[in-house]
Amino acid sequence: MIDENHPLVENKPILSMKKTNKIMMGVKTMYPYETYKKNDTRGKYLFVLMLLMGLTFFTGNSVMAVPADTIEVVAKHPESGKSSIYQINFVISKPIPPKAIIRVIFPAEFDLSDLMIAGSTTINGGFDLEVDRQMVIMKRSGLGREISANEKVDVKFAIVKNPNQPGDNYKIEIEILDNEEINIIKQQKVQKILSAKK
């Protein structure tokens, strides 16, 4: 039997296994579940922020629409029987190459026999002009720049004599082709011819 009062025996308390385990694990500084609890609010804010960003991105993509191809035919003198300069304005969602071809087909009631000139203030490089019955053919020379997608440009040509009868259902067909004559766009527009002023 050990004498507890013997000078060689230290009177220090013996740590229990339970206490020792706690010391080995670390004295209750922070357990995993406590870490989660402390970061829980911040995690919720982060989740909400990411969700809002995702919704904004999704909404933005759904709202942003690709610009539609638009073509407009404008007659300087739209009255019946009048000779007029015609202008085609267009915005195309594809590039227009330096050797593109623009075709404009008029109804039989229009007279193209005096049509001899074509040009543009927005498309450089010039055109080769041909008239084949009711079709105006303007071929880009290849010397100008490529027209960027969604860039507003125009072509003008003259002289076109309007029909003798006024009407609001004259259909003009416009077609733009690339240098390999592959269709870029084709649209039909209605041209209104007014009664001649007396």
The model's pLDDT over 113-172, given as tens digits with 9 standing for 90+, comes to: 999 999 999 999 999 999 999 999 999 999 999 999 999 999 999 999 999 999 999 999
Residue 93 in contact with residue 150, Cβ under 8 Å?
yes
**Single-letter residue type at 64:** M
Q: Are residues 54 and 101 in the same domain?
A: no
147's CB contacts (< 8 A; 6+ apart) are 92, 95, 96, 100, 123, 153
For the chain, the residue count is: 198
Work out the percent of the chain whose per-residue pLDDT is above 90: 63
Residue 189, domain CATH: 2.60.40.1510
CA angle in degrees (0–180, nearest 5) for 161-186-130: 45
Q: Are residues 161 and 176 in the same domain?
A: yes
Indicate the number of domains in the chain.
Answer: 2
Report which of residues 20 and 82 the model is more confident about: 82
Domain span at 27:
17-63
Say if 101 falls within a structural domain.
yes
Integer angstrom CA distances of residue 172 from 27, 73, 128, 193: 88, 8, 21, 12
What pLDDT is stored for residue 94 in this prediction? 94
Q: Residue 15 has what DSSP assignment? A: P
- The H-assigned helical ranges of 69-192 are none
**CA 23 and chain centroid, separation:** 65
Say if 31 falls within a structural domain.
yes
What pLDDT is stored for residue 61 in this prediction? 44
